[in-house]
Amino acid sequence: MNIVKTLKKVVFFFVTCVYKSLYKHIKVDEKTILFVAHLGRGYLCNPKYIYEYMQGKEELNDFKYVWALKNPNIEIQGAKVIKYRGLKYFYYLAKSKFWVINSKLPEYCIKKKNQVYIQCWHGTPLKRLAHDISVAEETTFFRSKQTRDEMLKSYDIDVARYNYLLSPNRHSTEKFMSCFNIERERVIETGYPRNDFLVNITGEKIEEIKNRLNIPKDKKVILYCPTWRDNKFNDKGYYFELKVNFNMWHENLGNDWVVIFKPHYLIANKFDSKGLEDFLYIFPENYDINELYVVSDILITDYSSTFFDYSILNRPILFYMYDKKEYKEELRGFYLDVNKDLPGPIFENENELIEAIKDKNIFETYKDILKKFIGQYHEFEDGHASQKVVEKLIIRERLK
């Protein structure tokens, strides 16, 4: 196995060397646009919804759309699908006029002056990012165990390539400017394109999704979405230590509730619902979470930014932070005061969490707090973020 990994690294090193030697000789095509979500992990997030908005627009019919995926066998109507980090990927990095990306690109990617890099990002920050992370000097980051200086350099290199960075709200604008050391002019407040789906959702669409996913209609739905931990990883990737007992949840909630469990897209280990097939529904890490948001009645999360998006639906949110002290002091730290600023209660004990779910008055207790939170963080979410991105950044750039 180690030999295979070594060979892959050698081949990839050779490919990147060829790319760096030849990219200047590949002419930029003004009508080609490259989409990448979560470093090729899926057809997801803001790039997906920008792409879908662009489909069928007469003035954009002559665009060539390219999606880079780790699994290139996925079919995306209207787009050419290529393998992420394959030979064609490097060719289209050099050829595409527009890059539409939602996470930090590796340092080997080279942007030409006449290319346009739209960095969509992938959440409203609760956890501190980049230059805003304050930890002990010897702390390392990611599975690659980068030093803090190396981590910051990787962000600085990518940020220097951005033409535009999308922001969903003023809080994000402020934090992005701080953590990425980016000037205000390049931060564009549009709302998140992926949230157009939540703003515009209809009862008929929710019904259709529930039917397709076989979610029971006679029970309420809990969506459990924990995030990854920077210090939990192995050779396969980041792993998540499940700190809930779904059997206990079934015993206490099974008459009235079912649970959807959606791991973070970075989590590599797998989970199963053996023995809980009619109660626990596990979705893969690369499934579009928007559909799971709208079929659920309540969200349980920890430090994930999912609660910002979910709050658009004006539904209860509970926080299960069993490792709050460790996370705050040893891993990332927070931009918000989690004890005061969150739109729902925090639980560090699983039994207390279960009792809160059973409390029919839990939403009444927090509905005014949630209403205030929505007003504070969703001032740009009008259901037309994708349109604003396309008209302000893509069509306008094309007309220059």
> Which CATH number characterizes residue 71's domain?
3.40.50.11820
Residue 239: what pLDDT?
A: 46
pTM: 0.92
237-238 vs 233-234, strand pairing mode:
antiparallel
Residue 76 predicted with pLDDT over 50: yes
Pair (368, 230) in one structural domain: yes
Please count the structural domains in the chain. 2
The CATH number of whichever domain residue 313 belongs to comes to: 3.40.50.12580
Q: Are 172 and 295 found together in one domain?
A: no
Q: What does the pLDDT look like over 9-41, one tens digit per residue? A: 888 888 899 899 999 999 999 999 999 999 999
**What confidence category does residue 141 fall into, taking pLDDT thresholds of 50, 70 and 90?**
low
Q: What is the pLDDT of residues 292-315, one digit of tens each?
A: 999 999 999 988 889 999 999 999
Is the CA virtual torsion 165, 317, 43, 384 positive or negative?
negative
Instruction: Report the share of the chain in percent with pLDDT over 90.
Output: 68
Q: Give mean pLDDT, residues 111-124.
A: 96
* 349-385 residue pLDDT tens: 999 999 999 987 878 888 899 999 999 999 999 999 9
Q: What tokens appear for 177 in the block?
A: 């400017």
Residue 240 and residue 162 share a domain: no
Same domain? For 343 and 393 the reply is no
Lowest mean per-residue pLDDT among 17-31, 178-192, 271-285, 369-383:
271-285
Same domain, 12 and 159: yes
Note down the domain range covering 73: 2-195+383-399
Q: Are residues 316 and 225 in the same domain?
A: yes
The C-alpha atoms of residue 299 and residue 307 are separated, in whole angstroms, by 7
Strand ordering across the sheet containing 346-347: 280-282, 257-261, 220-225, 298-301, 317-320, 346-347
User: 242 or 16: whose pLDDT is higher?
Assistant: 16
> What percentage of the chain carries pLDDT values higher than 70?
90
- In this structure, the answer to whether residues 392 and 365 fall within a common structural domain is no
pLDDT at 269 over 60: no
Is 103 in the same domain as 141?
yes
Are residues 153 and 215 both part of a single domain?
Answer: no
- Same domain membership, residue 172 and residue 270: no
Q: Is the pLDDT score of 336 beyond 80?
A: yes
Say yes or no: 8 and 29 in one domain.
yes
Mark whether 9 and 105 lie in a shared domain: yes
Residue 143 above 70 pLDDT? Answer: no
Average pLDDT over residues 218-235: 76
Which pLDDT band holds residue 98 (cuts at 50, 70, 90)?
A: very high
